[in-house]
Structure 1
Amino acid sequence: MSKFNRPDARAAVSSPVKTKSRASGRTYEGAPGHARDAKSELFLLAVANMVSEDTFYERAKDRDDRFTSLIHKLAVEDADWTARLLGWLRNGAHMRSASLVGAAEYVKARLNAAGTRERRTHEAGEGPGAAAFGGDSLAYRTTTNRRVIDSVLQRADEPGEMLAYWTSKYGRNIPKPVKRGVADAVGRLYTERNLLKYDTDSKGFRFGDVVDLVHPVAGSHSEAWREWQGELFRYALDRRHNRGTVPNPDLLPMLAYNLAFLESAGENPECLLDTDALKRAGLTWENALSLAGSKVDKKALWEAMIPSMGYMALLRNLRNFDQAGVSDEVAEQVAARLADPEQVEKSRQFPFRFLAAYNAAPSLRWSWALEKALNASLSNVPTLPGRTLILVDRSGSMFGAISQRSGLNRADSAAIFGTALAIRAASADLVEFGTSHRPVRFSAGSSVLSTLKEFTSMGGTNTAEAVRANYRRHDRVVIVTDEQAWSGYHGADPLGQVPANVPVYTWNLAGHQYGHGPSGESQRHTFGGLTDAAFRMIPLLEVGQNATWPF
């Protein structure tokens, strides 16, 4: 009889999120909790942390303090790994606030550590050079700090956000790596259109304030660019200090035209219906609506603005388009843009944004476009062979809002991901669970958005009972959850009821400190985040390849 070459033999593989094999704490609901190593804990927290937002179990301050402590630890212990995480967090995971805060704290931790090393070296009577404490000196790798700051600033209002965060926490003494990283980003991001969109009185740090503090170098591309951007910086300063300067129409044509257009619109609001003029003036849809007031027909105004509106603006205003009665022809143009996979990828929208738009504007003329857009945003969801059990956590803790502005919660995100995985799988059982559990009806040709209507609220978090009652010799189990399980079915390990040779994939959507089971090896793996990027690890693990960090 063969001892090793058996049908259930699987390659020993590992994944990057690792926990201790034995429970070392408790989940918030009292079940045995598995502590993660520092990198794993930071990764899962970072990809779910909206910053300054409470979760069901964790206050915002406690959550932010835990995030900061982990950044401080790993910025010193493994600076390169942490730098790569932060860059990916902004550009791959689309986490804006977490990456910005993480970058600032990364620099703070490294500068603090450099100062400590320098003091120790001086006290030991050694010289001040980098060689005094090794070639990997924190003090002498300021270019890394600068690059990390630059890497997380990807929108024109974010240089001001970075300075506002730093000064509010650490005062107005801004270190050079932060200034230079912000200056690098300013050179990339400050344009006439962005000044009109983001340089408003509602901001504590205006464009002019940022220029004044970091002294960016204009025009790295060409002499013409240098002249144009230098003039833009000068105008931003004059605008900030109310000097009454008029933009040079030869160098800043959009800003000059914008002033003239605003004056014309005040006298003749009908000019707001000129699509080309709106675009030439760089007028945002918010500005145009404010200028129009009740003087211009809303249907005509929306139809004039729509061609120059960005993807997110279109997504947010579908109900307004319906209420204004925009024509079917214009609606078809909007729907085509929403459904375009390239536009979806460029927009960096979380999948749950499309559900929010669908809930806000349930008109049939948007539903198919939003379904296609949602599917495009879930491009990493694989087609899994064999039989898959998918358990979606719909307990009370999952219904806390992801952020105060989103209007959606982790329960809805879990349902989106679980449903998409189920629909694409060769054969899947989709189950929602909480205190109890129930199957969710769907078919291979089902719409993700319509299937989401089948989900309910299920109370507590009896993960172990849901696994016990629904596992039927499946080839794999996927659990989408916040991992805050009850103490289990008669005290059982939630994952212990699945044979050790059958892989269990936990997708964590909250990033709490303790997980409901081991992870990293032995067919137990944890992923995380509010995008579908983690799904691409499943096929790797199942063909016997180790999965690595996504950055």
Structure 2
Amino acid sequence: MARFNVRARKAQPTSPVTTTGRVLRTHQGGRGHERDARSELFLLALANFVSQQTFYEDGAARDDRFAKLVRELAVSDPDWTASLLGWLRGEGNLRTAAIVGAAEYVHARLAAGATGGPSNRQVVDSVLRRPDEPGELLGYWTATYGRNIPKPVKRGVADAVRRLYHAKSLLKYDTASKGYRFGDILNLVHAAPDPAKPWQGDLFQYALDRRHHPDTAVVPGSLPLLAAHRDLMELRPAKRRKVVTGAGGAQRLAEAGMTWEALAGWLQGPMDKAAWEAVIPSMGAMALVRNLRNFDEAGVCDEVAAQVAAKISDPAEVARSRQFPFRYLAAYQHAPSLRWAYPLERALGHSLANVPALPGRTLVLVDRSGSMFYSRLSERSELNRADAAAVFGTALALRAADADLVEFGSTSKEITFRKGESVLKILERFGDLGGTDTTEAVRRHYRGHDRVLLVTDEQYAFSRHGGPTDQVPAHVPVYTWNLAGYRAGHGPSGTANRHTFGGLSDAAFRMVPLLEAADDTKWPWAA
């Protein structure tokens, strides 16, 4: 009699975040599941904004755990670790974790005398994507390991400098507040100009001159943006306001690389309506989203506001800005004018373009317990994990063919919504539900669904009924989206219809349809 080679038998796909089988305890005392080192680092890296306090771990403890895992895997599995770091800074869009990870990777490899695998130079270069990041990496290295900087670090930084340094980046990032100015970095790493950029030699020399001889530094003729900026800076304060209010003011500011941050200081006065309207045309989408409140307070006219709305909601601009979806929620919460609601709604939708339209019946459970509210996403953000979880859970429910959307904490309740309804309006129905009883939420709301998705920090309290994933029949997939990166998970993962993802972008959801098609999934950079 056939036992295995039968038509009805369905393959059990695997996913990369796996548990070891060892039992731990969650911070709340629930039965936890240990993840292997790669899985633990992956989830922690996606959730750790470095030095940020969380409800259950202080920033230093999380940073130490992150660095220890990187150092361990840099030696034992350099190819995987280097790929993770490059992906974090690229598609993952997490700069600080990637930079810290690269420094720890190199230090561990050098200390162990390790050979083979991606070069230390390549790893350093791979995580530096913005012109201020060479200085960030050098600042972290010297603060952590002293001023003796090894050659692979210098060479990796030099490679990045050739890619990243241009006239506008010099104006934006080479400021007196930085510990490492552009000239300091060039002195340290001895970066040679890129032969394909004939102007870069003059730029490097000017960066050195303005760092060490600012009173006599001369702007070279090969850098017209810097020359235009110099001409603006030499204007007397009384004439500067006329540039802003005069014909062609916006174009002149753009041609001189004047940022909105620098404009207020240059004007030596308030950023009023005229100032904002002059600089808005040259602002990027991210800067526009962050300043919507300022535009309203200054009284920016409807015509310019329409230009802002069009830019921040343009799909190409959303993709280019690489903002996380929760940024649009934060802007919506803090912008006083209703004229931004629709463009922010559209932008949020574009940023969630990868959320799949799941068939059948789906149960989406969103963690709104106290620990999710306590932890802000970063020190510069007022948004917390609870709101980030609500964004993604709502988007999943709206995209699914038939979904029940539930918030849970010490209690739970269903969130009502209609197809096509505004994500931002649905989010207003979520509340703060205190403690954590994930198991009871699953028991209460699972009613024969085809799949269950949990958006949570996984720190459920002890339950006599077992863990949250135990409440769902073994043949039904349960997907956990971890937003915190704590060590212990609330259920097994990697096989047998139990899978864990992580992070604050929608990229992880690409794996759900693959798993349901009985395809094994790989790490995001290997997919």
Same fold (TM over 0.5): yes
What is the aligned partner in structure 2 of residue 193 from structure 1?
A: 168
Letter in 2 for 1:266: P
What is the aligned partner in structure 2 of residue 106 from structure 1?
A: 105
Q: Deviations over 1:424-470 (max 9, x none)?
A: 10000000000000001111111111110000001111000000000
| Contact 2:15/2:522 (<8 A) preserved | yes
1:5–1:265: structure 2 CA closer, same or farther, 3 Å change rule? farther
Q: Deviations over 1:166-197 (max 9, x none)?
A: 00111111011100000011111111111110
In 2: Cα distance, 1:258 partner to 1:465 partner: 62
| Contact 2:14/2:495 (<8 A) preserved | yes
> What secondary structure, in the 3-state scheme, does the structure 2 residue paired with 1:478 have?
strand
Aligned partner of 1:467 among 429, 432, 442: 442
Aligned partner of 2:242 among 270, 281, 288: 270
In 1: Cα distance, 2:419 partner to 2:275 partner: 42
> What secondary structure, in the 3-state scheme, does the structure 2 residue paired with 1:259 have?
helix
The alignment status of 1:13 with 2:13, answered yes or no, reads yes
The alignment status of 1:514 with 2:457, answered yes or no, reads no
Q: Deviations over 1:4-62 (max 9, x none)?
A: 799985321100000024x5110000011100001000000001110111111001111
Q: Deviations over 1:188-227 (max 9, x none)?
A: 1111111110111111111111111001110231xxx23x
Q: Deviations over 1:263-306 (max 9, x none)?
A: 215231211341111011111111112222447x7111111100
The alignment status of 1:55 with 2:54, answered yes or no, reads yes
In 2: Cα distance, 1:56 partner to 1:254 partner: 47
What is the aligned partner in structure 2 of residue 121 from structure 1?
A: none
| Contact 1:272/1:292 (<8 A) preserved | no
Summarize the alignment of residues 116-265 of structure 1 with structure 2, pairs less than 5 Å apart. Answer: 138-139=114-115, 144-221=119-196, 225-226=197-198, 228-264=199-235
Letter in 1 for 2:168: R
The alignment status of 1:393 with 2:358, answered yes or no, reads no
Summarize the alignment of residues 352-501 of structure 1 with structure 2, pairs less than 5 Å apart. Answer: 352-399=326-373, 400-488=375-463, 490-501=464-475
Q: Deviations over 1:63-90 (max 9, x none)?
A: 0111011101111111111111100000
What is the aligned partner in structure 2 of residue 96 from structure 1?
A: 95
Q: Structure 1 stretches of 5 or more lacking a match?
A: 115-137
1:323–1:5: structure 2 CA closer, same or farther, 3 Å change rule? farther
What is the aligned partner in structure 1 of residue 68 from structure 2?
A: 69
The alignment status of 1:525 with 2:506, answered yes or no, reads no
The CA deviation at 1:364 is 2.2
Between 271-280 and 405-414, report the one with greater CA deviation. Answer: 271-280
In 1: Cα distance, 2:108 partner to 2:394 partner: 41
Aligned partner of 1:314 among 272, 278, 288: 288
| Contact 1:272/1:288 (<8 A) preserved | no
| Coordinate RMSD, CA, aligned | 1.7
How high is the TM-score relative to the length of structure 2? 0.96
> What secondary structure, in the 3-state scheme, does the structure 1 residue paired with 2:471 have?
coil
In 1: Cα distance, 2:319 partner to 2:354 partner: 12
| Contact 2:397/2:405 (<8 A) preserved | yes
In 1: Cα distance, 2:115 partner to 2:146 partner: 21
| Contact 2:50/2:63 (<8 A) preserved | yes
Q: Structure 2 stretches of 5 or more lacking a match?
A: none
| Contact 1:10/1:501 (<8 A) preserved | no
Q: Deviations over 1:462-482 (max 9, x none)?
A: 000000000000000000000
What is the aligned partner in structure 2 of residue 285 from structure 1?
A: 260
1:7–1:325: structure 2 CA closer, same or farther, 3 Å change rule? farther
Between 462-471 and 243-252, report the one with greater CA deviation. Answer: 243-252
In 1: Cα distance, 2:336 partner to 2:41 partner: 38
Identity of aligned residues (%): 59
What is the aligned partner in structure 2 of residue 304 from structure 1?
A: 278
In 2: Cα distance, 1:267 partner to 1:292 partner: 9
In 1: Cα distance, 2:523 partner to 2:412 partner: 33
> What secondary structure, in the 3-state scheme, does the structure 1 residue paired with 2:234 have?
helix
> What secondary structure, in the 3-state scheme, does the structure 2 residue paired with 1:485 have?
coil
